[in-house]
Amino acid sequence: MGLRSVRNQPPIPLSGVVVPQGPPKSVADIESFITMLRVACEDRNVNERLGRLLSLPDAKRQALVHSWVSDLLIAEAPKDFIAAVACLSDDSIAERAYETIYRCKREPRPRLK
């Protein structure tokens, strides 16, 4: 199962943040989303926190993501980061993100010499 396209999703009402509306785009094309997953794979603390969020029941996760996005907007966080977080409100994207960070937590990373 690949990452689902966000094209057919209704826009998330975020003032000042552009959530995919134009040409078809998958979350794999959102660089900040990919970066967020990479950081979760490299940083144990981020992995655990994101893992807890993504393991919540769908409705709770969606409510928490909505609240987090609102807080990020108020804090004037970078728009690309807000868009990455907003992707986590989609059930199938969240499921796939959870699988990804769970898998990277279990697989040892090669050490650089």
Domain ranges of the chain: 27-104
Q: For the chain, percent helix, then strand, then coil, each to nearest 5? A: 60, 0, 40
| Mean pLDDT of successive 10-residue stretches along the chain, which has 113 residues | 43 51 64 91 91 95 95 94 92 93 72 51
Compute the distance between CA of residue 21 and CA of residue 72 in angstroms, rounded to an integer.
20
Compute the distance between CA of residue 40 and CA of residue 51 in angstroms, rounded to an integer.
9
The structure's pTM equals 0.69
pLDDT of residue 70: 95
